[in-house]
C-alpha cells in the first residue's frame, strides 16, 4: 500500500496513487505471473529487514492471446526513499542472471513510457538496449503523447557482456 499509494511512484504507471482495493487486485495479478512458467514471477526486495520494493519477470505475452516461449518481461517498483541507491539496477541484473542462467530464456525485454527517464536509465544500467518507440491510442497518462519504449537484451548479448566484465574486473 505504501508503495502504490505514492503518486510519484505511480506517475508513469497509473498516473495517481492507488486505493487499497486497486492495490489488492493488482497485487493478485502480479502474483499470478508466477503460475504459467516455472521460475518466472514476482520478487520482493529487502535491505536488512526493510521492504524496499519489487521486481517482476513475467512471461512474455501474459494477459494476451498466447505466451511467447523463452521470453520474459522485466519490471520493478521501489519506495521513493530508496531511489538513486542503485537498488533497481542491482535487482534487475539478478533478474537477468536468473532468466538466462537458471531458466535458459533467450530474451528479456522491458517497457516504459518514453518520459520515464529513471526507468530507462535502470534498463540501460542493467544491460538492456533501446529497441523501439511505439504509441497506444487509449493511453492518457502524463507524457504518453511521446509514446512508450521497449528495451531488450538477448542471452547471447548478456553472455558476451558477462565475459567482457570478467576480463575487465581484476581478480580479488
Ligand atoms: C524506476 C525506478 C525503479 C528506478 O529506481 P532508482 O533507485 O532510481 O534506480 P537506480 O538507483 O538503480 O538507478 C538507475 C539509473 O538511473 C539513473 N538515475 C537516477 N535518477 C535519475 C533521473 N532523475 N533521471 C535519469 N536517470 C536517473 C541512475 O544514475 C542510474 O544510472 P547509472 O547506473 O548509469 O548511474 C524508481 O524510480 C521507481 O520505482 N519508479 C517508480 C516506478 C516505475 O516507474 N517503475 C518502472 C515502470 S516501467
pLDDT per residue as tens digits for the range 71-114? 999 999 999 999 999 999 999 999 999 999 999 999 999 999 99
Average pLDDT over residues 132-141: 87
**Tens-place pLDDT, residues 31-40:** 999 999 999 9
d(CA 128, CA 75): 12
Asked if the model's pLDDT at residue 171 lies above 70, the reply is no
Taking CA atoms only, the protein residue closest to ligand 1 atom 2 is 119
At 22, which CATH number? 3.40.630.30
Average pLDDT over residues 12-24: 91
d(CA 82, CA 103): 29
Average pLDDT over residues 126-136: 96
Q: Residue 110 belongs to what domain range?
A: 2-168
Q: How many CB atoms lie within 10 A of CB 79?
A: 16
Tell me, in angstroms, the distance from the centre of ligand 1 to residue 93's CA.
Answer: 14
Asked if the model's pLDDT at residue 19 lies above 70, the reply is yes
What are the grid coordinates assigned to 60, written together? 512474455
Q: How many CB atoms lie within 10 A of CB 100?
A: 22
Query: How many domains is the chain partitioned into structurally?
Result: 1
Q: Which residues pair with 78 in a beta bridge?
A: 53
- Check: CB of residue 87 under 8 Å from CB of residue 80: no
The mean-pLDDT minimum among 31-40, 101-110, 147-156, 162-171 falls in 162-171
172 pLDDT band, cuts 50/70/90, is: low
pTM: 0.94
- Residue to probe by mutation, ligand 1, list 26, 84, 128, 129, most atoms within 8 Å of CB: 84
Asked if the model's pLDDT at residue 150 lies above 90, the reply is yes
Tell me, in angstroms, the distance from the centre of ligand 1 to residue 65's CA.
Answer: 31
Phi and psi at residue 37, to the nearest 5° = -130, 120
d(CA 33, CA 30): 5
167 pLDDT band, cuts 50/70/90, is: confident
SS3 104: coil
Contacts for 148 with CB less than 8 Å, ≥ 6 apart:
111, 112, 113, 114, 133, 134, 135, 136, 139
Kindly report the CA angle at 79 between 74 and 83, in degrees rounded to 5?
80
**Tens-place pLDDT, residues 26-79:** 999 999 999 999 999 999 999 999 999 999 999 999 989 899 999 999 999 999
d(CA 94, CA 96): 5
Tell me, in angstroms, the distance from the centre of ligand 1 to residue 66's CA.
Answer: 31
Average pLDDT over residues 138-157: 91
Amino acid at each position: 500500500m505504501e508503495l502504490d499509494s505514492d503518486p510519484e511512484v505511480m506517475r508513469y504507471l497509473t498516473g495517481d496513487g492507488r486505493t487499497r482495493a486497486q492495490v489488492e487486485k493488482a497485487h493478485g495479478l502480479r502474483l499470478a505471473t508466477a503460475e504459467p512458467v516455472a521460475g518466472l514471477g514476482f520478487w520482493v526486495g529487502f535491505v536488512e529487514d526493510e521492504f524496499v520494493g519489487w521486481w517482476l519477470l513475467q512471461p512474455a505475452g501474459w494477459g494476451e492471446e498466447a505466451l511467447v516461449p523463452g521470453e520474459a518481461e522485466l519490471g520493478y517498483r521501489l519506495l521513493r526513499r530508496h531511489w538513486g541507491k542503485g537498488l533497481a539496477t542491482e535487482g534487475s541484473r539478478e533478474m537477468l542472471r536468473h532468466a538466462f542462467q537458471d531458466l535458459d530464456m533467450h530474451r528479456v525485454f522491458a517497457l516504459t513510457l518514453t518520459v520515464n527517464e529513471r526507468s530507462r536509465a535502470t534498463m540501460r544500467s542493467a544491460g538492456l538496449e533501446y529497441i523501439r518507440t511505439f504509441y497506444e491510442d487509449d493511453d492518457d497518462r502524463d507524457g504518453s503523447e511521446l509514446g512508450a519504449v521497449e528495451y531488450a537484451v538477448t542471452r547471447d548479448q548478456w553472455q558476451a557482456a558477462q565475459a567482457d566484465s570478467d576480463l575487465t574486473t581484476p581478480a580479488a
